[in-house]
A and B are shown apart, each in its own frame.
Chain A
Amino acid sequence: MDNKITLTINSKVYEIRVESNQTLSEVLRDQLRLTGTKVGCNMGDCGACAVIMDGKPVNACLVLAVQANGREILTVEGLADERDLHPLQRAFLEKGAVQCGFCTPGMLLSAKGLLDQNPTPSEEEIKMAISGNLCRCTGYVKIIEAIKSASETYPL
């Protein structure tokens, strides 16, 4: 563990030691036990590992933990506040946008990245925003509906 880094994850500051060849997704899951972030392909194709880094959704499997030093990370664990689910999470539940759930954390964060930039996206813009996130269950229709529905109440 030859590198000391500081990460702000879900508003909490972590000072940790990491190997230079550890990815952000490995550190989140294996070291910090924040296992809400999933790892599917580990190659940047599936989007299951998406987190928001300095305001932008990225594939955590393609970011070295050392490159994330000093940056602000939002994972799915940081979406809800203490009492309430995030409007996107609520919309995913209401619209049935979750089946096996493996893609859900990444979908939610790509969707949040979109709504933070563009609170009233068109259906095309929603499809584009989640084009780096694969879902093998839902066929995407309900996910798109959920994001559309959340956009109508967002931000609460």
Chain B
Amino acid sequence: MLLPKFHYHEPKTLDEACQIMENLGAMARPIAGGTDLLVNMKQGLISPQNLVSLQRIEELAGMDLSGGMLRIKACQTVSELAKSAEICSSLNALNLGASALGSPLIRNLATVGGNLVSARPAADLPPPLMAHGAKVILKSVSGERTLSLDSFFLGPGQTAMKTDEIMAEVLIEQPKASSGSGYLKLGVRKALEISIVNVASYLELDEGHKSIRLARIVLGAVAPTPMRAFSAEEMLMGEKPDEKLFYKAGQAASKESQPIDDLRGSADYRRDMVSVLTQRTLAMALANALTRGGAH
């Protein structure tokens, strides 16, 4: 299980990195934390001729909140996300997702960008980020483009990124005070687990907390990519949030999911669990919204 040979590049700036990707294209893979890439290389699944390290590029580190927009740089580690007071107070689902990813040893290496570009159907960060309506900024020598995460994932390991592009940032609009979110991951153990099903929900309430203004529900590990449960979302909008409604939304999400049978669980079991996790994350999102709304 030694790593195959490759040429190593260590650009200091994003422009330099983009130039290398422009020149090498499909012969190169960017490496950040390496927790997914190096495992795949050791297993012989891929053997890129070139690795382009992004970890010494200062522009890709850290995060900031300005103009109502949270910008998480692509190389921010998952442990920094899980520790962030900003994320903890306003992006509950993302805090929970980051805290559930891998193990503490993995979280100290793994990055937000890496968890997105590896595009595993059961990954922990895509559902929370999609539930919060996140977008990503992709850079190349020809410029940059902003893409909603809804249209980013194309299949297991497949994304809308071109071979010369590098993910620079994840953008999230600062959620309104009357909003909340929740995330649950179903697995057989608490650490180093690939989800059987994972679900993130986001709810935005009207001023008096009487009805739901906006809902997003994202299901993981039940389709080739993380998926929005649109019919369940529609069922919630404009309605009074309560357990009965959340139960019906869970049923709708379950019908929409397209799980397969595999060694982690059967399709039937996954469908049932989509319903349960949807219902529970909606309840978490509501409780989170009421707590956050009450503080203002």
- The residues of A with any CB-CB pair to B shorter than 8 Å are 3, 19-23, 26, 42-45, 47, 50, 53, 56-59, 62-64, 66-67, 110, 113, 128-129, 131-133
Residues of B near A133 (CB, < 8 A) are 103, 105
0/1 interface trace, chain B 1-24, chain A, CB 8 Å (1 if under): 111111110100000000000000
A63 to B53, CA, bound (A): 11
Given A20-B8, A67-B55: A113 touches B38 (CB 8 Å cut-off): no
Interface size class of B (residues with CB under 8 A): 20 to 34
Q: Which residues of A contact B34 (CB under 8 A)?
A: 62-64, 67
A134 CB to nearest chain B CB (Å):
9
CA distance A27 to B192 in the complex (A): 25
Q: A20-B7, A21-B6 are in contact. Are A131 and B103 (CB under 8 A)?
A: yes
Max chain A Cβ within 10 angstroms of own Cβ: one of B8, B10, B103, B192: B103
**Residue of chain A at shortest CB distance from B7:** A20
B90-119 vs A: 1/0 string, CB under 8 Å? 000000000000111110110000000000
Chain A residues near B2: list those with CB within 8 A. Answer: 21, 26
The answer to the question of B158 belonging to the interface, with a C-beta cut-off of 8 Å to chain A, is no
Are A44 and B55 CB-contacts (below 8 A) given A66-B8, A66-B10, A132-B191? no
Please state if B192 and A132 are interface contacts (CB–CB under 8 Å). Answer: yes
- Starting from the known contacts A21-B4, A26-B2, A58-B105, 20 additional A-B residue pairs (CB-CB under 8 Å) come to A20-B7, A20-B8, A42-B1, A43-B42, A44-B35, A44-B105, A45-B192, A57-B104, A57-B105, A59-B35, A59-B106, A62-B34, A64-B34, A66-B53, A128-B104, A131-B103, A131-B104, A131-B191, A131-B192, A132-B103
Chain A residues whose CB sits within 8 angstroms of the CB of B108 once the complex forms: 53, 56-58
- B212 at interface, CB cutoff 8 A: no
Does B275 count as interface, using CB distance less than 8 angstroms? no
Task: Look across to chain B and name the residue whose beta carbon is closest to the beta carbon of A106.
Answer: B105
Whether, in the assembled complex, B81 has its beta carbon less than 8 Å from a beta carbon of chain A, the answer is no
A-contact bits for B160-195, CB 8 A (1 contact / 0 none):
000000000000000000000000000000111000
> With the chains together, A42 CA to B38 CA distance in Å?
10
Chain A min CB distance to B79 (Å): 7
A51 nearest in chain B by CB position: B105
In the complex, B122 has a CB within 8 A of chain A: no
Q: Does B51 contact A (CB under 8 A)?
A: yes
Docked Cα-Cα span, A20 to B53, in Å, equals 11
Structural contact, A64 and B104, CB atoms closer than 8 A: no
Q: B69 contacts the other chain (Cβ, under 8 Å)? A: no
Q: Which residues of the other chain, B, contact A44 by a CB distance below 8 angstroms? A: 35, 39, 102, 105-106
* B42:A59 contact, CB within 8 angstroms: no
Closest to B33 in A: A62
Can you report 30 A-B residue pairs in the complex whose CB atoms are below 8 A from each other?
A21-B6, A23-B3, A42-B1, A43-B1, A43-B43, A44-B102, A44-B106, A50-B105, A53-B108, A56-B108, A59-B105, A59-B106, A62-B33, A62-B35, A62-B38, A62-B39, A62-B106, A64-B8, A64-B34, A64-B51, A66-B10, A66-B53, A67-B31, A67-B34, A67-B53, A67-B55, A110-B105, A113-B104, A132-B104, A133-B105
